[in-house]
Chain A
Amino acid sequence: MTASPSTADAHLPDFMRRDRSWHPPAYTPGYRTSVLRSPKCALLSLEQGPGEKTGPCFRADMLHELDNDLITNYAAATGSSGVALGERIIVHGRVLDECGRPVPNTLIEVWQANAGGRYRHKKDGYLAPLDPNFGGCGRCMTDAAGYYFFRTIKPGAYPWPNHGSDWRPAHIHFSIFGDAFAQRLISQLYFEGDPLIPLCPIIHTIQDERAIQQLIAKLDMGEQRPFDCLVYRFDIVLRGRQQTFFENKREGL
């Protein structure tokens, strides 16, 4: 994978500050692993420079044809013509910034458990079986209007040791780059109506119920693929650039 040039402009406007009360704090004892992995000192606030206002820029041509199809991409990579087991879904939506502007040509990476709640990962030993036709790894890019989609199977819930056996609701992990390192974000997508959502200590690291709602994909029956796939809508918002009221125009502009 190679990164190509992005806009190297020190004069780019700053990003709005991150609203840290909207994100989960570092120390959340309900999620026990955070206890020893949370800094105790306050974060150091610093203005952004060119190293924060630019970032890696990925090209669509680095993606493989099946990267956005988790139903077939693993089988194809292993020389099988099989398809993944489970409830077939498409996840789609737009990536916008806080000002409502689309974020085009940005890379989204996704990973998830299979329909039984098992990850294809060296460290996952859950007793649910691996699906020989499911890897759980995908990528896609937003188009010029910030729109993206990928096809997969709905992941299963799985247990994990926290307070005894806690259960993760069905979720898809996603990673997104935006235009600048300041916009970098990793989070998780949940599914509307999942009864495990109110019980999940990881979701409840987020203090504001409205912020939690932002992570819940909505069933989009209007877009269903008849006799094929259910569709979920999931929009993503990245940090927005501030308006610049007194920007010195560069020569020639």
Chain B
Amino acid sequence: MGEKPMPVEYLKETPSQTAGPYVHIGTLPAHAGLPVRQNETLNAIEAPGERIVVEGIVLDGSGAPVKDAMIELYQADSKGQVGEHTLWGRAAAMFETGELRFDTVRPGALAWRGGKMQAPHLTLLIFARGINIHLHTRMYFPEDEAAHQVDPALNRIEQVQRRKTLIAEKKKDGHYRFVIRLQGDQETVFFDM
């Protein structure tokens, strides 16, 4: 079969709509209270490497927790590879507190374009009622300061003080806390990639 000619008229991407407050039924049914897929623990990622805990919360513009948020995680494995050992996870905020948690491995540094490298990070997508199209952010690790100096994403953020919105707080060895602020003075940096 020959190559198709280059299309001159593209289709339009299906537009996004909010995941709504009942996103858990389809994505984490046990969290919604459905007696199906009870053993599925999508926020615990098994892979070789240094185990880490990432706890987090999403806050709205008034500082209140977003208690219906669903977050997806995608990250490199401990050697910095994606694809070969696809590390993906999903976590729901607790209805009472908005807190959520991932148990995973510390990612290695991931390649970037032109032979450059990125600092180790987690890619996070945030879905919730009131969020019309998911928000895409990253969590970096506070101890990787040298790598942050040359990271292409952090360096793209012109307002230097906003870079720290992407860097987690270290609670203790292997345990990090990441607060995502949707709006306000310390609004998290979100990407269009």
Contact = CB atoms under 8 A, between A and B. Distances in A.
Contact of A6 (B16, B68, B86): B86
A4 interface: yes
Size category, A interface: 35 or more
B91 interface: no
B182 interface: yes
Interface residues of B, number: 78
B7 A49 contact: no
Contact of A173 (B11, B20, B60, B118): B20
Contact of A36 (B15, B23, B183): B183
A72 to B, nearest CB: 13
Interface of A: 1, 3-10, 16-20, 22-26, 28, 31-41, 43-52, 54-57, 73-74, 77-78, 96-100, 109-111, 119-124, 135-139, 173-175, 181-182, 184-188, 202-203, 205-206, 210-212, 214-215, 236-240, 243
Interface string B133-144: 111000000000
Contacts of A38: 61, 130-132, 182-183
Interface in B84-137: 84-88, 95, 110-113, 118, 123, 125, 127-135
A237 B15 CA distance: 9
A77 B191 CA distance: 40
B185 to A, nearest CB: 10
Contacts of A56: 74, 86, 88
Nearest to A78: B35
A111 B18 CA distance: 13
Contact of A25 (B113, B132, B156): B132
Contacts, number: 269
Contacts of B23: 111, 173, 186
A96 B25 contact: no
Given A37-B61, A51-B76, A51-B123, 12 more contacts: A34-B131, A36-B183, A44-B153, A44-B189, A47-B113, A55-B74, A123-B68, A123-B95, A186-B16, A205-B17, A210-B12, A236-B14
Given A1-B40, A123-B95, A135-B36, A214 B15 contact: yes
Contact of A186 (B19, B21, B81, B87): B19
Contacts of A19: 12-13
A39 B135 contact: yes
Nearest to A9: B83
B169 interface: no
A96 B13 CA distance: 9
Interface in B37-73: 37, 40, 42, 60-62, 64, 66, 68, 72
A186 B153 contact: no
B110 to A, nearest CB: 6
A114 to B, nearest CB: 11
B57 to A, nearest CB: 14
